[in-house]
Structure formats: C-alpha cells, structure tokens
C-alpha cells in the first residue's frame, strides 16, 4: 500500500493528550497515512490505558506499527506477575480494565525491530556497534519468538530479563543470558564500548561526564546500510541527527514535546501540548 505520509513518533509514555494533539497537527488520516512508534507506549503519562487502546486500534487497521520498549516489556512482566508496577508508573488502570488481557496479548506480539522504509530501521534504544543490521534482525527475532510463544514459555522468560548488571556478549552466549542481553541492547542501551559492553547508570545529556571508555552507542564509527531511528534517551531531546542515527524521544513526559519524524523528507513536527504529570 502506498501512503500519503509516514511518521515515526518517539516515546508516548502514556501522554495521551499530547498524542491526540500531535495527530491533529499532522492532519493524520488513517486511510492515507501510517504511524510508526518507537516503543514505550506506556508508563508515566496521564493516560496509558487509552494510549495503548488507541495505538492497538490503529495497528489493527494497518495505519500504525510499533516496536517494544523497556516500559512495554515491564508492563508485560507486571501482567504475568514477574515484576511489580514501578512507583512512578501510572499503569494500574490497564490492569483494572476489562480488556487488559486483550491489550497485553496484543502487546507481547509486537516486534522488537521494524523497517519503516527502505532506508531506515526502527528500534527502541539502538543497535550496538558490534552488530550489523542483519545480525540485529536475527537477534530481535530470537527474542520475539520467546515473547510471542506460549504463556508457559513467556512466564519462564520474563523473570530472567532483569538484572542490574550488564551481561557480556560473546560467541557462546545462550539461554536466558542471551535473551536478557538482546533485550538490554534493544530497550535499555545508551552508552557502550565498541565491543558492546553496556553501562546502565548514565542517562544524562551528551555534554555530561561519562564513565571511562563508554560512549553513546551511535558515536562509534560503524557504517550502516540504514539509518537507525530510536527513542528511549529523553535527555537527548531528539536533537541527535546523524547519517546513521536519529533520536526521536523529545522527552514529552518530562515537560518537553512529543514529536513525529516524517519519512521521506526528514521533517520534524512537534505537539503543542505537554504532558503535565508529577513524575
């Protein structure tokens, strides 16, 4: 299908009012346009439930697609009893809703990596420098198969996706350690070494001091066949635009803006509404 416009939108985080305002600004028409979401559909905004419902409905119409972010994985883990709702998350209404199971069954079947067009690849946090795009796709499919399998399989996986320590990637990595490492690259990564070693404590701006030897994953000089579109790192305020990578999380939930990146010409459109929540 040929679309009038396709837009890639950064982390919604449940900021429903800003999302609706952005759609008005875009003059979005689900019959002609398509939205791509960079993950973290839910969490700290004012209405995660209706945000999730709206995105699901558009995806089922073929007018949208999303990848999974760390907050989405956490939502699935809470649903299955493998995690607790984080103190700052406002996702409790989802679990009280009559359509909770329907929403979460749909969410767990969404991809980790997607291709919005022939020139880009979309993930939540990034792709590490030691993976090619093709390798990243293979690893994404490995994790997706676990998330989308039987509930018994899902329940074995989820408690093993969380660790305060970053796993080292090596040729013989396997099992839950491998799944956790894959999830960390795609949904939690900000800084890394060239060999893919991760650092989880830093979430600041690019001019702030960083741990020795670690750099933003997109600053390693690795040629890419596609531009990597990503969210996750709110402190960047979606100001990073490099030949190999484009940041899309404008930090709406932190009092900044929700934005859409128009494929084709790279124009950025921002919502005039903010997410006014106490986080």
For residue 82, give both structure tokens: 């493998």
Helices assigned H by DSSP within the chain: 16-26, 48-61, 70-79, 92-96, 100-107, 133-147, 151-157, 175-187
Indicate the pTM of the whole model. 0.96
pLDDT at 276: 66
Task: Report pLDDT digits (tens) over 170-225.
Answer: 999 999 999 999 999 999 999 999 999 999 999 999 999 999 999 999 999 999 99
Query: Minimal CA–CA distance to 198: which of 131, 248, 142?
Result: 131
pLDDT above 90: residue 62? yes
Domains and CATH numbers, the chain: 6-270 (3.60.21.10)
Q: Is the pLDDT of residue 236 over 70?
A: yes
Q: Which pLDDT does position 278 carry in this prediction?
A: 63
Structure tokens at 255: 């009092």
For β-strands 191-192 and 215-216, DSSP reports them as: antiparallel
pLDDT at 108: 98
Asked whether the beta carbons of 256 and 274 are under 8 A apart, the reply is: yes
160: left (phi over 0), alpha (psi -120 to 50) or beta: alpha
Q: What is the pLDDT of residue 145?
A: 98
Residue 179's nearest CA partner among 161, 197, 196 is: 161
The residue-averaged pLDDT of 159-166 equals: 88
Mean pLDDT, the chain, rounded, equals 95
The answer on pLDDT for 256 being more than 80 is yes
Are 237 and 10 in contact, with CB atoms under 8 Å apart?
Answer: no
Say if residue 279's pLDDT is above 60: no
Q: How sure is the predictor about 247, in pLDDT bands with cuts at 50, 70 and 90?
A: very high
Percent of the chain with pLDDT over 90: 91
Percentage with pLDDT > 70 across the chain? 99
Which two structure tokens, joined as six digits, stand for 137? Answer: 């796709």
For 84-119, the pLDDT digits (tens) are 999 899 999 999 999 999 999 999 999 999 999 999
Residue 274: pLDDT band (50, 70, 90) is confident
Mean pLDDT of 229-252: 96
């Amino acid at each position: 299908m040929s679309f009038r416009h396709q837009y890639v939108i950064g982390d919604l985080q449940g900021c429903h009012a800003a999302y609706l305002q952005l759609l008005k600004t875009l003059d979005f028409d689900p019959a002609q346009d398509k939205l791509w979401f960079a993950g973290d559909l839910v969490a700290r905004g004012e209405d995660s439930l209706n945000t999730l419902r709206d995105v699901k409905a558009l995806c089922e119409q073929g007018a949208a697609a999303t990848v999974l972010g760390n907050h989405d994985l956490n939502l699935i883990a809470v649903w299955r009893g493998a995690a607790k709702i984080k103190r700052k998350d406002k996702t409790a209404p989802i679990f009280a809703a009559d359509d909770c199971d329907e929403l979460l069954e749909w969410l767990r079947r969404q991809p980790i990596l997607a291709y919005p067009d022939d020139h880009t690849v979309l993930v939540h946090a990034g792709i590490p420098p030691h993976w090619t795009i093709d390798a990243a796709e293979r690893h994404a499919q490995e994790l997706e198969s676990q998330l989308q399998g039987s509930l018994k399989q899902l329940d074995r996986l989820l408690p093993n996706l969380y660790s305060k320590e970053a796993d080292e990637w090596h040729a013989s990595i396997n099992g839950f350690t491998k799944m956790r490492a894959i999830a960390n690259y795609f949904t939690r990564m900000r800084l890394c070494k060239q060999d893919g070693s991760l650092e989880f404590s830093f979430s600041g701006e690019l001019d702030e001091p960083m741990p020795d030897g670690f750099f933003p994953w997109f600053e390693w000089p690795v040629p890419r066949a596609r531009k990597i579109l990503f969210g996750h790192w709110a402190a960047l305020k979606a100001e990073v635009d490099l030949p190999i990578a484009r940041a899309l999380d404008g930090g709406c939930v932190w009092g900044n803006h929700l934005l859409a990146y128009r494929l084709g010409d790279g124009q950025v459109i921002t919502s005039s509404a903010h997410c006014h929540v106490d986080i």
